[in-house]
Amino acid sequence: MGKVYRARDVSLERVVALKVLPARHAKDPTFVQRFVKEARAAARLNHPNIVQIYNFGSVEGTYYLAMEFVDGRSLGSHLRERRFTEAEAIGIARQVCKALAVAHAEGLIHRDIKPDNLMLTTRGEVKLVDLGIAKRLDEDQAITQTGHSMGTPHYVSPEQIRGQKDIDARADIYSLGATLYHLVTGHTPYQGSSGAVVMSMHLVEPLPDPLQYAPGLSEGFCRVLRKMLAKDRQERYPDVAALEVDLFRLHVGQTPRPNEPTAPVFRSTADATLDLNTSQRALIDPVVLLRIEESLAVLVGPMARILVRKAARAAPSLDALCEELARQVDPGSGRDAFLAKCRACGRASTPVKPPTGPGKTPAAAGRTPAGEATPSLSPPPRTPTPSSSDPGASRTPSGFSEPDLALLETALAQQIGPLARILLKKALKHATTLSGLASALEENIPGDEGRRAFREVVRRLTP
The residues carrying an active-site annotation are 112
What burial letters (b/e) apply to 353-392, b meaning 16+ CB within 10 Å?
A: ebbeeeeeeeeebbebeeeebbbbbbbeeeeeeebbeeee
Judging by DSSP bridges, how do beta strands 266-267 and 118-121 pair with one another? unpaired
CB distance 338 to 326 below 8 Å: yes
Which H/E stretch holds residue 202?
helix 195-204
User: Helix or strand or coil: residue 314?
Assistant: helix
Q: Report yes or no: 430 and 441 within 8 Å, Cβ to Cβ.
A: no
Cα gap 1→22, rounded to integer Å: 8
Cα torsion angle, 191, 192, 194, 196, sign: negative
| Measured distance between the N- and C-terminal CA atoms of the chain, rounded to whole angstroms | 41
Strand runs labelled E in 79-129: 108-109, 118-121, 126-128
Within a 10 A sphere around the Cβ of 445, how many other Cβ atoms?
A: 25
Q: Does residue 222 contact residue 193 with C-beta atoms inside 8 Å? A: no
Whole-angstrom distance, CA of residue 391 vs CA of residue 95? 62
Q: How many residues does the chain have?
A: 463
C-beta neighbour count of 333 within 10 angstroms: 12
Instruction: Say how far apart CA 107 and CA 168 lie, in whole Å.
Output: 9
Whole-angstrom Cα distance, residue 295 to residue 256? Answer: 41
**For 185-201, b where at least 16 C-beta lie within 10 A, e where not — what string?**
bebbbbebebbbbbbbb
Q: Which residues, listed in sequence order, are joined to residue 401 by a DSSP beta bridge?
A: 395
Give percent helix, percent strand, percent coil of the chain, each to the nearest 5: 50, 10, 40
Distance between CA atoms of residues 111 and 125, nearest Å: 21
Q: Which residues contact 215 (CB under 8 A, 6 or more apart)?
A: none
Q: Are 296 and 307 in contact (CB under 8 A)?
A: yes
